[in-house]
Amino acid sequence: MKYDTVDARISPEGRLNVLSKVEVNRLLDTSHGGLYRLFRNCSLAVLNSGNYLDDGKELLERYRSFDIRIIQEERGIKLEVKNAPATAFVDGRIIRGINEHLFAVLRDVIYTNDEIGCNPKLNLESSAGITNAVFHILRNANILRPTRNPRLVVCWGGHSISQLEYDYSKLVGYQLGLRGLDVCTGCGHGAMKGPMKGAAVGHAKQRINDGHYLGVSEPGIIAAEPPNPIVNDLVILPDIEKRLESFVRIAHAVVVFPGGAGTAEEIFYLLGILMCSDNANIPFPLIFTGPKSSKGYFNQINQFIGHTLGPEAQTRYKIIIDNPLAVAREVQAGIRQVREFRKNTDDAYYFNWLLKIDTEFQKPFVATHENIKNLELHKNMERSLLASNLRRLFSSVVSGNVKDEGIRIVEQHGPFEIHGDMEIIESLDSLLTSFVEQQRMRLPGTKYVPSYRIIRKS
């Protein structure tokens, strides 16, 4: 099938308007260096915004001839694209929001390489060093707002959800927006778009002109979850672990909508952190919510958490079904507690420095058959480590489902094999099977072929 494409030269819009000659030269070097593939693939994902596709491999194959280059001019730079998705343009001119996101990609890819990866002052082998790296990337992207009172609500949930669930997420976002709260999501569609869309209407009714709709992504997932049209700030972290840390460091509250393996990954990441004794007294509002039709989904999630992490983990969140108003009020009350705590402890409103995150949650995990087979999933494990390994497992399922590299590994070597204690494996199998049956692993109408296989020991 042939897809319409466009060739164009694009000027900066809202990003990288002023550059030194040294910066321009560095960008020129990078456009021809080892980062080109990363920059190209992320740029293609942004240019494909609005086209629902949850397969990173298919996107790259669909636009194999796409190319992007940095052109140096007297007053700065331009981007030259060839065979770019035509839907990113209107009458030959790139859509302004996509333009901004395209240069945000350039900003983050270059900064992460030059100032993070090559910075001897940042020890990326230590927990503090990784947290500092996350902070510097966010600060460079200008998404930290030091003059604002706490008001950022991170919303998690799947890209493949029902229309009823999507409409409900908009209603929750609307109630948040009416209360002057901002929304941050993984920047894709589904439960990542709904809360932003609702909040935008709430902000409009309250005549709030500086509403923040923040999208946080990473190179592996952005092809499957490109920025939705509501996102007015985009930041790309170098890997999924730093993306997750960004969410919990900048969040003043987290709301979880229905989703699949990616949402489960986010839940176990946060619960594993909150169960650390050092974080016991840190207020962190966490709410699971959905329409009445999602009650069974959250019951199963709650049961799985109980089976694996125990009752203590279940005390760290509230489940509110079919009540957007109650969700917004609970979030608002929780954020008041966050503000008072940060004020009393002199912690920043815009970055949760006091939250302790163990290196097990920060080290990049590569989804290979060997790594997944060696993941320990045992009932007698320390709960935080079990949460970390479950997070890695769900992340691997996501990789095999939608990420280019993960899809290719599964195609070449077959499904990932999952081993562990029978009780955990049985519960995990039940949960993943329900995700498949409810079409939470793929966009509706597309066939899902499992990227994993549960191994039961006789």
Q: Residue 313 has what pLDDT?
A: 96
Q: Provide the token pair at 201.
A: 């209407």
Question: What pLDDT is attached to residue 124?
Answer: 87
DSSP letter for 210, please. -
**pTM for this structure?**
0.93
Please enumerate in sequence order all residues whose Cβ is within 8 A of that of 285, keeping only pairs 6 or more positions apart, or say none: 252, 253, 254, 330, 331, 333, 334, 335, 337, 338
List of residues 6+ apart from 445 with CB closer than 8 A = none
Q: Is 360 helix (H, G, I), strand (E, B) or coil?
A: helix
Which amino acid is it at 416? F
| pLDDT computed for residue 95 by the predictor | 94
Paired tokens of 324: 């957007």
Class of domain 145-213+245-345: alpha beta
Domain 5-118 belongs to what architecture?
A: 2-Layer Sandwich (3.30)
The answer to whether 391 touches 272, Cβ cutoff 8 Å, is yes
Gap between the Cα atoms of 172 and 45, Å rounded: 28
Could you tell me the residue ranges of all domains in the chain? Answer: 5-118, 145-213+245-345, 359-454
Amino acid present at 222: I
Q: In what order do the strands lie in the sheet with 286-290?
A: 233-236, 213-217, 182-185, 152-156, 253-256, 286-290, 318-321
* Length of the chain as a residue count: 458
Q: Which residues contact 367 (CB under 8 A, 6 or more apart)?
A: 395, 396, 399, 400, 406, 409, 416
What is the predicted pLDDT for the residue at 35?
75
What are the 10-residue block averages of pLDDT along the chain, 458 residues in total? 84 59 58 72 88 71 86 77 92 92 88 80 89 95 92 95 96 98 94 97 97 94 87 95 98 97 96 95 97 95 95 97 98 98 96 96 94 91 94 92 85 91 92 89 73 80
